């Protein structure tokens, strides 16, 4: 038996918030701010966005490890944030998230059309998220009402390790019967999500304008001047540099062109691991 290098993509694994739904990725970030506030701890939206893409418990732990936030927590609560405190914050975060997820459930403009084009090119559509399953159930149901159904959904608490580990992406590969990780592309708006794809041996596409890094509504994004947009693209590109995405595009609407380019590279014998 001889190894057969894939000559076409078989699967796209898409993130959810900031990638397919919730332009600007506001649903998770705003709830972090509100959950901390209920403990008397002020956390800015910008601070809350920092670890985006990780599982939510890990996200809260990372926020609590930031010295400025840890100091505010200690002033409010009387001790440094422990893992028990992180769990208490997480347990408050979860019902708030479930309650308010519908407020930020709109599909990103162009998402349905782009995904339809991927399917026309023969790709399966996998998905994963930093949300746990209890939140993903609601996200998936809301997306279905708006016309989007992924072939596979893997929540962060359905694998041993969430992002930046490759487990969620690889769980999609197994469930969808993909023959080679080099025939997959991971699309995400966060550094942990790109690292997930890289660690899984996949092609990776980072979204610069629809997600957490830019952090604007679609209306605010469209209102940016050409000069300001260029500055923001450059800033976000710098944020992604260390994770080494293969491609940078504004939103998922630009993805079909990238798929064509990756297919051409695969046909030439190129691999994501070597790029």
Task: Give the rounded percent of residues in the chain with a pLDDT score beyond 90.
Answer: 81
Output the average pLDDT for the chain. Answer: 94
The question of whether 254 is a catalytic residue gets the answer no
Domain boundary among 44, 70, 103: 103
pLDDT in tens, 69-113: 999 999 999 999 999 999 999 898 888 888 888 888 999 999 999
- Quote the CA–CA distance of 259 and 212 in Å, as a whole number: 23
Beta-carbon contacts of 147 under 8 Å, excluding residues fewer than 6 positions away, are 107, 112
- Domain closes at, from 83, 103, 123: 103
- Is 89 in the same domain as 144? no
Q: What is the pLDDT of residues 203-239, one digit of tens each?
A: 999 999 999 899 999 999 999 999 999 999 999 999 9
53 found inside a domain:
yes
- 152-155: which pairs have CB atoms within 8 A and are 24 or more residues apart? 152/124, 152/125, 152/126, 152/127, 152/176, 153/127, 153/128, 153/129, 154/126, 154/127, 154/128, 154/129, 155/128, 155/129, 155/131
Co-location of 131 and 177 in the same domain: yes
- Say if residue 140 is in the same domain as residue 64: no
Contact between 52 and 29 (Cβ < 8 Å): yes
Indicate whether 79 and 123 sit together in one domain. no
Q: How many domains does the chain have?
A: 2
Best CA proximity match to 53, nearest among 151, 152, 165: 165
Catalytic residue flag (residue 15): yes
- Do 253 and 114 contact (CB within 8 A), yes or no? yes
Q: Which domain holds residue 89?
A: 27-103
Ramachandran quadrant class, 124 (left: phi over 0; alpha: psi -120 to 50; beta: rest): beta
Cβ atoms of residues 9 and 266 within 8 Å: yes
CATH classification at residue 75: 1.10.150.240
What are 263's two structure tokens? 């297919």
Range in 56-60, 154-158, 188-192, 270-274 with the lowest mean pLDDT: 56-60
Residue 43 lies in a domain: yes
In a domain, 275, yes or no: no
Catalytic residue selected from 56, 85, 186, 189: 56
CATH code for the domain of 253: 3.40.50.1000
Is residue 272 assigned to a domain?
no
Among 103, 137, 167, where does a domain finish?
103
Verdict on whether the full-model pTM lies above 0.75: yes
pLDDT, tens digit, 9 for 90 and up, residues 35-55: 899 999 999 888 988 887 778
- Specify the pLDDT at position 95: 87
């Amino acid at each position: 038996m001889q190894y057969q290098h894939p000559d076409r993509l078989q699967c796209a694994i898409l993130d959810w918030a900031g990638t397919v739904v919730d332009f600007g990725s506001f649903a998770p970030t705003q709830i972090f701010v509100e959950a901390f506030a209920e403990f008397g701890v002020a956390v800015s939206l910008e601070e809350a966005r920092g670890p985006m893409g990780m599982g939510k418990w890990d996200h809260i732990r990372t926020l609590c490890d930031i010295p400025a936030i840890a100091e505010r927590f200690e002033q409010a609560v009387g001790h440094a944030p422990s893992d028990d405190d992180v769990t208490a914050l997480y347990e408050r975060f979860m019902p708030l998230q479930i309650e308010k997820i519908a407020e930020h459930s709109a599909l990103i403009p162009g998402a349905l059309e782009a995904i339809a084009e991927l399917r026309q090119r023969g790709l399966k559509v996998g998905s994963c998220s930093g949300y746990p399953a209890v939140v993903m159930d609601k996200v998936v149901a809301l997306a279905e009402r708006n016309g989007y159904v992924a072939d596979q959904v893997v929540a962060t608490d359905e694998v041993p390790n969430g992002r930046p580990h490759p487990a969620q992406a690889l769980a999609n590969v197994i469930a969808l019967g993909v023959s080679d990780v080099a025939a997959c592309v991971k699309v995400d708006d966060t550094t942990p999500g790109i690292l997930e794809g890289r660690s899984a041996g996949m092609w990776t596409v980072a979204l610069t304008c629809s997600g957490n890094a830019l952090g604007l509504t679609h209306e605010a994004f469209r209102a940016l001047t050409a000069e300001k947009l260029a500055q923001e693209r450059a800033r976000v590109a710098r944020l992604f540099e260390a994770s080494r995405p293969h491609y940078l595009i504004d939103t998922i609407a630009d993805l079909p062109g990238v798929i064509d380019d990756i297919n051409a590279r695969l046909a030439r014998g190129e691999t994501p691991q070597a790029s």
